[in-house]
Structure 1
Amino acid sequence: MKVALVHDWLTGMRGGEKVLEVFCELFPEAKLFTLLHRKGSVSSTIEAMDIETSFLQSMPFIFKKYRHFLPLFPVAIESFDAREYDLIISSSHCVALGIITRPSSCHICYCFTPIRYGWDMYQDYFGPSNGRGLAKFLIPFFLNRLRCWDVTASHRVDAFVAISQHVAQRIKKFYRRDSRVIYPPVSADRFEINPKQGDFFLIVSALSPYKRLDIAIEAFNQLEQNLIIIGDGPLYNQLREQANSTISFLGWQPDEVVAEYFARCQGFLFCGEEDFGITVLEANAAGRPVIAYRAGGALETIIEGETGLFFDEQSPASLMKAIEKFDPLDYDPVKIRERALLFDRTHFKNTVADYIFQTYERYLKKEFDCVETT
């Protein structure tokens, strides 16, 4: 059995790449197809793979502006020759699911989300307040074409795995496909409980529009409490300009530094509507409670009153109300960590391996319809 892995792009070690790392451990001899690869940006396990990139790799300024090349992504993913592979496993939040295979190949897609900026978060990325000039007219036209391509590409997948019930509902809505839910892995052994707490709240996040860090910044500007933000992204400068002196931006930090801040924070803030939200469970693995917006994947991981609490509206006032209610002494760090261990990496690896091999065996025996899976 010849195996190929497909991943959208390799530019950093985020949640999606931690899933891919498990696939690489399961299939170390596989070919790995990806649109572009910034060498040294991902773990040694992934870097050791036989990696093939698309023509986008040689584009000027590609690593600084790769999102601007979105119109070329469908063409780039379809340019790979995957005809010799029996099993294809794509890990996709953009176009990886669209790789073209031979009819007899089995394609399993671990789906982080249908393209979020093409579907339900289109307005967050490209709504009237975000468009200007000619782009204001071209973007809606292009996104319409991208959605059509995405639906067509979804029919190339034989079996979908969703990262959460929230994503499974979106796969059903946009692709009209069923999916199996297997929660992504949390490397709980990276984190430990620290009895010495700091006087700050923490956010670890990409600084992107849908993450809604603006809510936290406005709230903490009014509360004048300490907030530390770890992460980088297109809104970095804009958010820094909005923040007062009690809010600190640390940019990107290595894993060991992030783990230390997780363990010492009073509480972790989660303001966006996420497909899953792995940082919620990383905070819990360090024994720290979470204050999260009541929506998306957080509803599947947080037990209110035991591992965190929710705020009901994406507004500074709603977040401030939750913070005023929050008392870190109400939470047991040991019980919080025990909850996170249910999502541990070892459990994910065993579960997803069983699913892949069982699905491939069923596919060879023609025991399931390649259009609908359960």
Structure 2
Amino acid sequence: MPTSPSMTTAATTRRIEGKPRVIVTRRLMPEIESRMSELFDAVLNSDDHPFSDEEMAAAVKDCDVLVPTVTDNIDPDLLEKAGDRLKLLANFGAGTDHIALAAARARRIVVTNTPGVFTDDTADLAMALIIGVMRRMREGTRIVRHGEWGGWTPTGMLGRSIGGKRLGIVGMGRIGQAVAHRARAFGMQIIYYNRRRLPESVERIFGADYAATVDELVAASDIVTLHCPTNAETHHLIDTRRISLMKPGAVLVNTGRGELVDQEAMITALENGQLWGAGLDVYPDEPNVDERLIAHPNVITQPHIGSATEEGRTAAGLKIIANIQSWADGHSPPDRVIEGYA
């Protein structure tokens, strides 16, 4: 692959004998990049720019291992351009909805991810958004910073308590359960929807009730938080119809994927009061955020930082290295993704 000024590598003009060529599409933690350069023929993205379609096509033709992230669309057409050389997609992140898993499997390309390392970080952010919206922290911060606070009054800046409120969790995997664990400590009641009902023993741990349908969950919840992958079934999972089923003045929190929510339906509900507020970390057209969301006094907008901690990003990088090294040594990588169970 032609080396652009934005790319650096341990060997840009020659192949390193015995080492797999690994192309990384975005900047990783410095210690991770340093270790990759020691172990592999690593091509790094020095200025962290998103790869263009042309750069991505060139990359898959010139590497044994591609390290993509959620910002990369690894579709069947791209994999077709890879030829026979690309053998491993070592994804940075647990979610793989941006990767055409069936196409990768058909071409005998192994796919790995980094499960578990972002669980607590994302759950922490979800709880922060729940508390922040319920206590109107975005609006409170604004009036203080703009010199509009006139002092304490008994009826000033009234928010809502979270103790006793019913939290509806859509997707009760690792992150959903971590959110339930935190919410339980705040005295919240838990109701959840999942493709497969959890064992009764796990439900007892969280004091959680099972909703047989998403409709049932949203109708029963004061706050709904989304922790499921995007696919054909979950695209616009929260739409006009489901928002209409929610309690008047309910709250919506999304740290999953922007495509889970029909954004226009959500904005309409925020503007007419059907939704009291929202806590958002993801959007359907990132990095663009609708101005109506930014303007709403009780919508907290974060820049997709659910996994953005030094510890989590380092742990993910170490998992990627372990997966690549295991594959290069002829073993099945520890975090291999099986289609349908990503």
Q: TM-score, normalised by structure 1?
A: 0.35
Q: Which has the higher contact order (CA 8 A, sep 6+)?
A: 2
Q: TM-score, normalised by structure 2?
A: 0.38
Q: Report the structure number with the largest CA radius of gyration.
A: 2
